[in-house]
Structure 1
Amino acid sequence: MRRAGLPERPAEIQPPRAIERLHERLARGLYSLAWLLATPLALVYLAWRARRQPAYLERIGERLGFHPRRDDEAPLIWVHAVSVGETRAAQPLVRALLERYPGHRLLLTHMTPTGLETGRELFGAFMAPTAGTSDATSRVAQALLPWDQPFAIRRFLRAWRPALGIVVETELWPNLVAVSRAAGVPLALVNARLSERSLRKGSRWRWLMRPALAGLAGVFAQTEADAGRIRELGRTDVRVFGNMKFDVAPAQKLEVLGHVWRLGLLAAGGDLAHRPVVLAASTRDGEEALILDAWQAWRARQASDDDPSVVRPRAAMRWPPLLAIVPRHPQRFDEVGREIASRGLRMVRRSSWGGAEPPEADRGAEVVLGDSMGEMFAYYALADVAIVGGSLLPFGGQNLIEACAAGVPVVVGPHTFNFEAAAEQAIAENAALRAPHAAAALREALEIVADPLRRQSLGEHALAFAARHRGATARTVAALAPLISGERER
């Protein structure tokens, strides 16, 4: 009871930021509990995925944080690239770090078997001879990143002892950031991108996303639009460096391989020598059927001499174009092969060639199924024009920058939100064309191959576009320097 004459003590008001921290701690606690309860379901999911990709049942211990302890004392830079696209995007960064820091080792982590496979294809020369092992002489090691459970992340960090973690593009896990920060491991998000769709999802989970972004040692975005969306989630000091995918250069051996394929499939002379190649690159589920429907409809109309709407080959092009289809995911190779075969089309598969050059029996094929990994630049070297997959249906689009870097005319569909800035820039700079649907994309591609001068012009614009936007890797490496012990940014 208050004494008479004494003023009433005002009630203590808890600072709003303290309430926010409480909400964030509760949210992460519930999130961690949900992960713990969901672990059996996650294991069932791996078994289900293993029906088509047996590699999903390998290295399960690593997903729970059980990694062999490394026995060397060299400082370690850890780069996380979730799957194929991120691993390819990380290629120039990994090579730049290896060159700039010869006394450091690198750990490359992934979440998918295809990510592991791509990493070994790109950096196998720097790795131990046996996959899944590490030794003191190898510069690059590989592992699966654990699921986002605190105990698993702690075990992972104790085993590898990284000096710095680098996350490529979009993989932002709340416990990964919190546990790394508590362990004294700075974590940077590089080549960061955030679509409007991801922003809406992040806003719904702001109690998890806001502290995760705040816990990062640096955030380096691809574009101002990406940076703006990240700032909306609460991280204000975002720097814009461009897209590292522009720094991925075609490997010369793959370009040579593509030209060898072209000679083998199209022959050195005769009618086949003038046959153009239309490539459907990195196609996703359902897109192959749309392309094949359009292809067969065009072939049927071509047979009718009185159809004025048909794009017809020039006189020198006595054979119809060759269609090459390269599915994005290897587990779909056989499925797509069955789709092509069911239509009665004469198909050849890259995997059947064994050596580099296709056999003479494969000349005159109607469709090539690109059922191989790590050879996309060879397929671009084979092609006269590329329809970039993932954009014909709402998957967000695959990497059109690689096609531009190879100097191939590019056609994209209406759905490019994963490469929004790059796609719009390419279209504005006459390096790519957009079509509203698959049939229109195929028609655009056929019109390009029917006009050699236009094809050459579009290819030159694509090369110039790719060259003009390089440099993000150098800017990123310079910005990471202060986070690497003993060096200042320069």
Structure 2
Amino acid sequence: MLLFLYNILLPIALAFSFPFYLRRMLKRGGYARNFSQRFGRFPKEMTDRFAEGGWTWIRAVSVGEIGLALRLIEELKRQSPDFKAVISTTTSTGYTLGLQRRANRPWIEIIYNPIDFYPIVSFCWKQIRPREAILIDSDLWPSFLALAKAHRSPVYLANARLSRRSERRYAKTRLLSQRLFWRNVTSLFAQDQEDAERWKRIGVSADRIMVTGSMKYDTDEVASGTNARFSVWLDEHGIKAGRPILLGGSLHRGEEDLLLSSFKLLQAEFPKLFLILVPRHVERTREIVQLLRARSVPFALRSEPDFREDPSILLVNTTGELRDWYCTATVVVVGKSFYGTGGQNPIEPILAGKPVVVGPHMENFQYIVDELRNAGGIIQLHSADALVSTLADLLRNPSVASSIVARAFKAMAQHQGAIRRTASMIIQGRAGLSIAG
């Protein structure tokens, strides 16, 4: 009855929200590409491959989840050579990144997430015929979960994180959530024990929860600190090796202005300092360009490699490159931590071997930040007031920066291996073995 009511109300909600999403799609761009996939319409060559059977459906909302999904797939492929996966994503940036990284991997298909309307998801399910589903970071949708149960396909929640805020929200609708979500989940792989306890409190059965760790701790070939591709790119464009680079990654509105102000003050002591701005949402490029022009600072766009003048700032207005750019930095400031709430992933720049500074708002990664801060492996500021002095100290004292990175690596080492553990659990489930915690 609840699922029926949900599917009655969903089209009404979509109709009311359509103007908002249309404006958002036009602003972000790229959504028109393969838009029919959101209704379960796929090209014939793709459906022919689906008909071969044996696929695993992996849902990954956007860029970050796509990266985790691809790394998990590589491990699953290593443990089970016949493994193949369909990755579905919601955003155009995630879709583009998925297509880029699936090159020469015929065992991976990239599609858009279908609208969670039962007839549409059912149509997709009949075409893909997945043997199991993996949801990255708890991408939960009622119709999708109901169809997985109807087709007797196991559902695994991988890298499952539950914030305090989400716990409070689910607790208010415990019975509803239990019927729509949790009873349809086969196994949940929590990031840490604290998350596991939260999942239990909102109604997930304890025997379905395993603590496998955060997959974001696991390094790969891109975020290893040895990727020199973009350092070469900078060198070719006049930004020579040895020049100090301040990088702001996954920046949200207001944080570009903060870094520009800090950058201007730092230039008095570090005249050769170069600033790289990487916004979280590339559709904000026009807004940031206007800000840069208003400040009359020479800047370059990543999408326009022919610089007209010697820039002091690079605005990265392309997608899927953040981890590569981290490898070029001297110091990294992680966005959505000074303005906004939740923060962004601090692990990737650390894995690239860089000292990391974050602001007070790291709610979505607080467990990780607390461990790193207690180990002396990250700097978390209570406000933006201390940002300039903190950055100056790190730029002035490379040995201090190096020691912070070393302590961060030591703190993270005990948490690595989550991808391997998660893949092993899924393979055990395939073999019909118990994976209960």
Contact between 1:266 and 1:275, CA under 8 Å: does it hold in 2? no
Distance of 1:323 and 1:57 partners within structure 2: 33
User: Is the Cα contact below 8 Å between 1:431 and 1:461 reproduced in 2?
Assistant: yes
Whole-angstrom distance in 2 between the partners of 1:80 and 1:267: 39
Is the counterpart of residue 199 in structure 1 residue 171 in structure 2?
no
Tell me, yes or no, if structure 1 residue 255 matches structure 2 residue 238: no
Contact kept, 8 Å, 1:46 with 1:57, in 2: the verdict is: no
Question: Separation in 2 of the partners of 1:466 and 1:120?
Answer: 30
Preserved contact between residue 47 and residue 57 of structure 1 (Cα < 8 Å)? no
The structural deviation recorded for 1:189 is 0.5
1:234 and 2:186 matched: no
Contact 2:212 2:418 in 1 (8 A): yes
Q: Closer, same or farther in 2 for the Cα pair 1:404/1:296, shift >3 Å?
A: same
Matches within 5 A, 1:318-467: 319-353=271-305, 363=310, 365-467=311-413
Contact 2:245 2:273 (8 Å CA) reproduced: yes
Q: CA RMSD in A?
A: 2.4
Q: Does 1:165 align with 2:117?
A: no
Q: Which of 16, 34, 39 is the matching residue for 1:59?
A: 34
How far the C-alpha of 1:43 sits from its partner, in A, is 4.1
Q: Distance in 1 between matches of 2:34 and 2:341?
A: 29
| Aligned equivalent of 2:254 | 286
Aligned to 1:123: 102
Residue 316 of structure 1 is matched in structure 2 by none
In structure 2, the CA distance between the partners of 1:366 and 1:487, relative to structure 1 (3 Å rule), is same
- State whether residues 63 and 146 of structure 1, in contact with CA within 8 Å, keep that contact through their aligned partners in structure 2: yes
Query: Cα offset for 1:73?
Result: 2.2
TM-score by length of 1: 0.81
| C-alpha distance in 2 between matches for 1:67 and 1:274 | 49
**Partner of residue 55, structure 2:** 76
> Paired residue for 1:35?
10
Q: 1:216 maps to which residue? A: 185
Superposition map of 1:292-311 within 5 A: 292-296=260-264, 302=268
Aligned-partner Cα distance in 2 for 1:292–1:236: 49
Report how far residue 57 of structure 1 moved. 2.7
Q: Distance in 1 between matches of 2:200 and 2:156?
A: 16
Deviation at 1:117, TM superposition (A): 1.1
Q: Which amino acid aligns with 1:34?
A: L
Larger Rg: 1
Q: CA deviation at 1:31?
A: 2.2
SS of corresponding position for 2:228 = helix
Q: Return the alpha-carbon distance in structure 1 between the equivalents of residues 25 and 213 of structure 2.
A: 37
Point out the more displaced range, 480-489 or 84-93.
480-489
Aligned residues: 428
Q: Deviations over 1:103-124 (max 9, x none)?
A: 2321000111111112122222
**Match for residue 140 of structure 1 among 108, 131, 135:** 108
Offset of residue 53 of structure 1: 2.7
Which amino acid counterpart does residue 205 of structure 1 have in structure 2? T
What secondary structure does 2:256 align onto? helix
**Residues 193 and 75 of structure 1: is their aligned pair in 2 closer, same or farther, counting only changes over 3 Å?**
same
Other structure's SS at 2:420 match: helix
Q: Conserved in 1, the CA contact under 8 Å of 2:134 and 2:158?
A: yes
Could you say what secondary structure the match of 2:391 adopts? helix
CA separation of 1:60/1:348 partners in 2, compared to 1, >3 Å: closer, same or farther?
Answer: closer
Unaligned runs of 5+ in 1: 1-24, 127-137, 303-311, 314-318
Contact 2:277 2:316 in 1 (8 A): yes
On the 8 A contact 1:188/1:218 being kept in 2, the answer is yes
Which structure 2 residue ranges, 5 or more long, are not aligned?
Answer: none
Equivalent AA in structure 1 for residue 333 of structure 2: I
| 1:353-401 deviation digits (Å, cap 9, x = unpaired) | 27xxxx6x654x2211122222223211211110001111233111111
| Correspondence for 2:194 among 191, 216, 225 | 225
Residue 42 (structure 1) shift: 4.6
Shift of 1:449: 0.7
Q: 1:173 to 1:208 in 2, by over 3 A?
A: farther
Which residue of the partner structure matches residue 124 of structure 2?
A: 156
Q: Distance in 1 between matches of 2:145 and 2:374?
A: 38
Q: Which residue of 1 aligns with 2:421?
A: 475
Structure 2 residue 151 is the aligned partner of structure 1 residue 183? yes
Q: Deviations over 1:208-232 (max 9, x none)?
A: 3222112101001001111111111
Moved more, 393-402 or 461-470: 461-470
Write the letter of the residue equivalent to 1:421: Y
For residue 461 of structure 1, report the CA deviation from its aligned partner: 2.5
Secondary structure of the corresponding residue to residue 325 of structure 1? strand
3-state SS of paired residue (1:469): coil
- The Cα shift of 1:89 comes to 2.1
**Residues 387 and 442 in structure 1, CA contact (< 8 A), matched pair in contact too:** no
Does the 8 A contact of 2:29 with 2:92 survive in 1? no
Report the secondary structure of 1:229's partner residue: helix
Is the alpha carbon distance of 1:442 and 1:198 closer, same or farther for their aligned partners in structure 2, counting shifts above 3 Å? farther
Write the deviation string for residues 454-477 of structure 1: whole angstroms up to 9, x where unpaired.
122123233334444210011111
Conserved? CA contact 1:279–1:383, under 8 Å: yes
How has the CA–CA distance of structure 1 residues 75 and 265 changed in structure 2, closer, same or farther, with 3 Å as cutoff? Answer: same
Aligned sequence identity (%): 28
The Cα of 1:195 is off from its aligned counterpart by: 0.4
- Give the match's secondary structure for 1:102: coil
**Residue matched to 1:3:** none
Amino acid at match of 1:480: I
1:207 Cα offset (Å) = 3.4
Q: CA deviation at 1:39?
A: 3.0
Quick one: which amino acid aligns to residue 256 of structure 1? A
Distance 1:121 1:423, change over 3 A: farther
